[in-house]
Amino acid sequence: MKLTLNIWRQSGPDTDGGMVTYHLDDVSQDMSFLEMLDVLNEGLILGGDEPVAFDHDCREGICGSCGMVINGDAHGPVQTTTCQLHMRSFEDGATIDIEPWRAEAFPVIKDLSVDRSALDRIIQSGGFITAPTGSAPEAHSTPVPKADADMAFENATCIGCGACVAACPNGAAMLFTSAKIRHLNLLPQGQPERTDRVRNMVEQMDHEGFGGCTNTGACARSCPKEIPFESITTMNREYLRALRAKPTSV
Ligand code: FES
């Protein structure tokens, strides 16, 4: 495949960036998108140029490290992670625009790499349980309704890649935050911190500068793990319940 790549290059957080055009002549359609960028970087390094910085780790759709806006879509034209996107999703001769996640709460570190530690701070504010785990309990000693268990697992599949934020026109992190809240609040082990969890996580989300939801649904359509859009509704309901249980002092 022959490709023309327009890639956002930015040498650091405090410098201006811009699109730079590169050409690749021998890309296999069986390569992943990240492998295609590896080939580009090998050429840049051999030519004495600075390689394109981008985030990745597992390259198996598990860790959530990878992420970039490809032709205007978070993770590109297929609802998967960038590392699981393959070049057969593009036409021979295609021009591909590649940009970092665009959101006020995700400042660019370099090129396609952004600082997503705001998501970590939301987790730190409440995305955990304090019940001692100890050794594995007997499986039937804590009954959980099947529908709750299934929905908790579905929300627990969120890998925190940030595609929902990048896809949202408001830069909202509500799908991410709601997935983390819902998967714990549905389970018996999550009940002791249920009220504080939702309050702390929603307030941290707002503090980080993420926008609010206006029901576009772009987040759910771009989520590689297909976190249900309705989780946001559940989070809003949980938040109102928490405010009634413990009114704010403000
Ligand atoms: S590199 Fe881990 S999900 Fe893509």
Same domain, 74 and 124: no
State whether the beta carbon of 59 lies less than 6 angstroms from ligand 1. Answer: yes
Same-domain pairing of 167 and 94: no
Q: Round to whole Å and give the CA distance between 142 and 16.
A: 55
In angstroms, the CA 73 to CA 80 distance is 11
Q: Whose CA is nearest to atom 3 of ligand 1?
A: 61
CA-58 nearest atom, ligand 1: 2
Ligand 1 centroid distance, CA of 34 (Å): 10
pTM across the whole model: 0.94
What's the structural domain count of the chain? Answer: 2
- 65 C-alpha vs ligand 1 centroid, how far in Å? 5
Dihedral pair phi/psi, residue 206, rounded to 5°: -65, -40
Query: Measured between alpha carbons, how far is residue 57 from residues 17, 34, 54, 64, 128 in Å?
Result: 25, 11, 10, 8, 24
Domain boundary residue among 58, 90, 110? Answer: 110
If pLDDT is split at 50, 70 and 90, which confidence band does 247 have? low
Provide the H-helix boundaries in 22-90.
33-46
**Residue 233 is part of a domain; what is its CATH number?**
1.10.1060.10
Q: Kindly report, residue by residue over 20-64, the tens digit of the pLDDT.
A: 999 999 999 999 999 999 999 999 999 999 999 999 999 999 999
* Residues 99-129: tens digit of each pLDDT: 999 999 999 999 999 999 999 999 999 999 9
- On whether residue 51 sits in a domain, the answer given is yes
- The single residue listed with the structure tokens 């992420």 is 67
Domain CATH code at residue 95: 3.10.20.30
The residue from 92, 110, 128 where one domain ends is: 110
Cβ of 64 closer than 6 Å to ligand 1, yes or no, is yes
Contact partners, residue 77, CB within 8 Å, separation at least 6: 70, 71, 85, 89, 90
Q: What CA–CA distances, in Å, run from 238 to 182, 195, 242? A: 9, 8, 6
Host domain of residue 81: 3-110
Same domain, 240 and 131: yes
Q: What is the pLDDT of residues 157-166, one digit of tens each?
A: 999 999 999 9
Residue 250 has pLDDT above 50, yes or no: no
**Domain's final residue, options 63, 92, 110:** 110
- The yes-or-no verdict on residue 68 having pLDDT over 50 is yes
Claim to verify: residue 76 and residue 98 sit in the same structural domain: yes
